[in-house]
Structure 1
Amino acid sequence: MKRIAIGIGIILIVMSILLIALNFVGFLDSNIYSIYSDDDTYLDGSIKTIEKDFEPRSDLIKLKIEDSIGKIDIEGYNGDVVKIRAEKHVSFGSPDEIKVNMEYEGDTILISTKTPRHLIYPAKAKVYYNIKIPNDLVIEIDTESDVCSIDISNLNARNIDLEMDVGAIAIYDINASEIIAETDVGSINVHLKKCCDMDLKTDTGSITVKIPKDSDVKIDAESDVGSIYCDLPLGRETRGIVEHRIVGVIGSGRYRIDLKTDAGSIKIKGI
Structure 2
Amino acid sequence: MNKIGRKTLGLLFLLVGGIFLVQQWSSIGFSDMFGYIWPILFVAIIIEVFYHYRLKEPEEPLRFDKGAIVVLVLALLISGGVQNTQSSGFGTFQGSSIFNWWDEGISVSYEESIDINQHVSEIHFDIPNAKLRIVGTDEDQLVINGTVRANENNESNVMKVFEKARITESKGDSFLYHVERPKSSWFSFNDHLHVDFVVSIPRDRMVDVDVTNGSVDIVNIDENIIIKTTNGRVSADEISGDALVSNTNGTISLRNISGEVEAVTTNGRVSVNNIYSNATIKTTNGTIDLESIEVNGNWDVATTNGNVTLRIPQDSDVSVEGKTTNGSVSGDLDWIREKDTNFFGKSNEGSAIHNQGTYQISTKGTNGSISVSLLE
Q: 1-side partners of 2:352 and 2:194: how far apart?
A: 42
Question: Would the alpha carbon gap of residues 252 and 133 (structure 1) be closer, same or farther in structure 2, given more than 3 Å must change?
Answer: farther
The residue number in structure 2 matching 1:149 is: 215
The residue number in structure 2 matching 1:24 is: 31
| AA partner of residue 163 (structure 1) | K
1:127 maps to 2:195: yes
Q: 2-side partners of 1:118 and 1:47: how far apart?
A: 19
1:200 maps to 2:263: yes
If you compute each CA radius of gyration, which structure gives the higher value, 1 or 2? 2
Q: 1-side partners of 2:350 and 2:178: how far apart?
A: 39
Q: 2-side partners of 1:84 and 1:200: how far apart?
A: 27
| AA partner of residue 190 (structure 1) | L
Aligned-pair distance for 1:55? 2.9
TM-score normalised by the chain length of structure 2: 0.55
The structure 2 residue matched to 1:169, chosen from 228, 231, 234, is 234
Aligned-pair distance for 1:63? 1.1
Query: Structure 2: 5+ residue runs without aligned partners?
Result: 1-13, 24-28, 36-80, 91-101, 275-291, 330-348
Q: 2-side partners of 1:268 and 1:111: how far apart?
A: 42
Moved more, 120-129 or 209-218: 120-129
* Greater relative CO, 1 or 2 (CA 8 Å, sep 6+): 1
Q: 2-side partners of 1:262 and 1:129: how far apart?
A: 39
Deviations 1:74-94 (A, max 9, x none): 112243423234631125443
What SS class does the counterpart of residue 323 from structure 2 fall into?
A: coil
Q: How does 1:1-271 map to 2 (within 5 A)?
A: 16=18, 18-19=20-21, 22-26=29-33, 27=35, 31-36=84-89, 45-58=106-119, 61-85=121-145, 87-93=147-153, 94-95=157-158, 96-98=160-162, 99-118=165-184, 121-122=189-190, 125-135=193-203, 138-157=204-223, 159-176=224-241, 178-192=242-256, 195-211=258-274, 212-232=292-312, 235-241=320-326, 252-253=358-359
Aligned-pair distance for 1:131? 2.0
Query: Structure 1: 5+ residue runs without aligned partners?
Result: 1-11
TM-score normalised by the chain length of structure 1: 0.73
Q: Which structure features the higher share of helix residues?
A: 2
Q: Which structure features the higher share of strand residues?
A: 1
What SS class does the counterpart of residue 216 from structure 1 fall into?
A: coil
Question: Would the alpha carbon gap of residues 43 and 207 (structure 1) be closer, same or farther in structure 2, given more than 3 Å must change?
Answer: closer
Q: Contact conserved, 1:189 with 1:209, CA < 8 A, in 2? A: yes
Aligned-pair distance for 1:236? 3.7
| AA partner of residue 156 (structure 1) | D
Q: How many correspondences in the alignment?
A: 250
What SS class does the counterpart of residue 322 from structure 2 fall into?
A: coil
Q: Report sequence identity in percent.
A: 17
The residue number in structure 2 matching 1:3 is: none
Report the aligned-residue RMSD.
Answer: 4.1
Q: Contact conserved, 2:324 with 2:365, CA < 8 A, in 1? A: no
Moved more, 208-217 or 257-266: 257-266
Question: Would the alpha carbon gap of residues 181 and 154 (structure 1) be closer, same or farther in structure 2, given more than 3 Å must change?
Answer: same
Aligned-pair distance for 1:56? 2.5
| AA partner of residue 195 (structure 1) | S
Q: 2-side partners of 1:69 and 1:109: how far apart?
A: 20
Aligned-pair distance for 1:113? 1.0
